[in-house]
Amino acid sequence: MSPHDRYQSPLTSRYASAEMAHNFSENKRYSTWRQLWLNLAIAEKQLGLEDITDEAIAQMKEHLDDIDYELAAAEEKKRRHDVMAHVHTFGIAAPAAAGIIHLGATSCYVTDNGDLMIIRDAYDILLKKLPRVIDILAKFANEYRALPTLGFTHFQPAQLVTVGKRATLWLQELLWDLRNFERARNDLKFRGVKGTTGTQASFMSLFDGDHDKIEQLDQLVTELSGFSEAYPVCGQTYSRKIDIDVLYPLSAFGATAHKIATDIRLLANLKEVEEPFEKDQIGSSAMAYKRNPMRCERVCSLARHLMTLVNDAMATSSVQWFERTLDDSANRRISIPEAFLTADIVLTTLQNIFEGMVVYPQVIQRRINQELPFMATENVIMAMVKKGGDRQVCHEEIRVLSHQAAHVVKNEGGDNDLIERIKKTAYFAPIHGELDKLLDPSTFIGRAPEQVDSFLTKHVEPALAPYASVLASYQKAELSV
């Protein structure tokens, strides 16, 4: 059957990076199982189990990656058990080890420990990508630190901000996501060597009731597998509450990405800021002039899915009866890989957007010009008072002119001509020469540029410092489609 005759997840067939797709591949999963069986055998031999020979260890090391999938599939069909199918397949490849592979272990020794290793590696991939995204956006914020732009509350015109200051709002949330990714990755522990219901009873038999050796075995296998410690107790599986800790930061990042992409989509509608648009890109099959924000729309679409996946982990954790049930397995096979694959794709897409984001200062200035006269009325009143005017009289004069200008804008579709009206009104003659200064947008942005500088120096730079080598090996993001 051709691949085109079967459903393929678009996460891997269309969007995901090769690195993350490999991390959740069958090759990675089953070679990780074999590594875990090797680690167990090495530790058991080191602690005195004489049935494990040097030849067995050597053969296992030689066959960590050459997996006979046809044989494994046939074995699983016969045995209806994926772990035992792969135990048998590994034993065929390494016959000297066939009798000692999986010695004393339960299926969750490889499935759960393997998942924890794959999750750890998945976070390591994301923790190379998120700092790049933050770094690129930080450079954007610095470049536009002082460019005034109209602020919005309720998507209605508000006081001026700067393009760079707005970008720091996005950056701050991404920094929180970076913190959450780091916490989740560094909090991961190993399930360890715990046996069928977590009591290590099988190892009591293997090591003749030697508790110290069993604890040494647990720690040794943990360290051989790249972890410093294991969860102190477990049932048959590691607690599925851990999966909540794993997926929550990813879902929370989805909310961040959705907000950023939505802001850019709104700005694209205003023609103030746009995502990159390639020379031969087509925005619409019918409307040739269109420049649709398809990258940001993709981010929103995928982020919407990402935000929901933590609910799978919560629901699964809540119904794991006693030492375990198996209603977690099928769900986790979908939700955990999809969460990491989706986060990976969203990060790559955000990087691509930030690398080519375009700002249109003239459009921004025009929109400021439409709204700034109304915002400047208080400045006009204060300037008149300084010239000896009566505040109440001035307020009434400016109120009348403002309503006239608003009528032109709203009812006639014209430009905001409040300043021209002020210039033509004799009452305001004392400040006619100061109007340009009173309307300078840079006087309406408060400490926005300084806030950008402070934020980048005090918060972004320290957060990125541990990732200097990652940032030094920068590669431009390429979208597959």
pTM of the model: 0.92
* 8 A C-beta contact, residue 49 and residue 193: no
Q: Which domain holds residue 430?
A: 377-438
d(CA 111, CA 240): 13
Give 306-337 pLDDT, tens digit per residue.
999 999 999 999 999 999 999 999 999 999 99
Indicate whether 317 and 387 sit together in one domain.
no
Residue that wins the pLDDT comparison between 165 and 371: 165
Indicate whether 169 and 302 sit together in one domain.
yes
In a domain, 371, yes or no: no
In a domain, 187, yes or no: yes
Give 97-132 pLDDT, tens digit per residue.
999 999 999 999 999 999 999 999 999 999 999 999
Which tokens sit at 155?
């998507």
In a domain, 206, yes or no: no
Which tokens sit at 274?
């746009």
In a domain, 205, yes or no: no
**DSSP structural state of residue 39:** H
Residue 458 one-letter amino acid: K
Indicate whether 56 and 189 sit together in one domain.
no
Beta bridge partners of 464: none
Enumerate the active-site residues: 154, 284
* 8 A C-beta contact, residue 136 and residue 357: no
* 8 A C-beta contact, residue 60 and residue 37: yes
- Neighbouring C-beta atoms of residue 156, cutoff 10 Å: 8
* 8 A C-beta contact, residue 90 and residue 37: yes
* 8 A C-beta contact, residue 11 and residue 345: yes
In a domain, 140, yes or no: yes
**pLDDT beyond 80 at 290:** no
Indicate whether 424 and 296 sit together in one domain.
no
Indicate whether 294 and 180 sit together in one domain.
yes
In a domain, 242, yes or no: yes
Indicate whether 40 and 120 sit together in one domain.
no
Indicate whether 172 and 238 sit together in one domain.
yes
Indicate whether 256 and 323 sit together in one domain.
yes
Indicate whether 116 and 44 sit together in one domain.
no
* 8 A C-beta contact, residue 173 and residue 180: no
- In which residue are the tokens 């034993």 written? 91
In a domain, 408, yes or no: yes
CATH number at residue 388: 1.10.40
Give 439-471 pLDDT, tens digit per residue.
899 999 999 999 999 999 999 999 999 999 999
In a domain, 279, yes or no: yes
* Count of domains forming the chain: 3
Indicate whether 254 and 341 sit together in one domain.
yes
CATH number at residue 59: 1.10.275.10
Q: What is the DSSP string of 369-407?
A: HHHHHHHTHHHHHHHHHHTT--HHHHHHHHHHHHHHHHH
